[in-house]
Structure 1
């Protein structure tokens, strides 16, 4: 209230899962993207944060959730964290909570692992090409299908 803004304390009583499901329903996403985000939230977020109200989830709760997050890669962890942060950003925009707990200085987002693509050598490319089924839609010549303006 010192900054001239007021957030109704009752506004943040909605459960994270209920708010996130409503948020996701209203996003202009492709079906596969929507399904991916829904699966991430259902498997990795709702079991821990889903029943808590938005206002109960503070930076400490986010740190605890992140500490217990067991996914195969830090890139997967980063994706789930980004989804949670995006939901909280929407809750801030909607006036339900004053701040996004994921953006607190004490919360460290999982790092993205930057991996360089290693191209296949010619022997492997030829082996894969030879293993493809022979159909009129596929070509065994390397220069077909890469032209512009068709």
Structure 2
């Protein structure tokens, strides 16, 4: 497996994002969806990582939006058939390292109450629950988490 920073506007990566949306959309009402699209993932302040298998197929992805005070984790996803192999942890670690190398000292994220696997994963990775941040509304379906870099 190889993980690298890539442009998200690639057919196999777009399919990953579409698969993530297909998974999340039934879990929450439309007003509780806070994912960002391919155009936003392509912004200069976004680190977008792709995990590829030995054949070069995109099997996972994630992004960190670099804000002045923190990096916000977005669009973490691993194909169901590739889960349980530590890919998400490796993508997360890669993204955090890349962000820290660019001066990021804190990471934040928003995820949903209907994703217990994600909540457990982030807690194992050192993220702790916190109050909402940024422009997120007060949504009872959201869970906000934070981790200091280092």
Return the TM-score normalized by structure 2: 0.35
Q: Which structure: greater strand fraction?
A: 2
Query: Which gives a bigger RCO, structure 1 or 2 (Cα 8 Å, sep 6+)?
Result: 1
- Greater radius of gyration (CA): 1
Query: TM-score, normalization: structure 1?
Result: 0.35
- Which has the larger helix fraction? 1
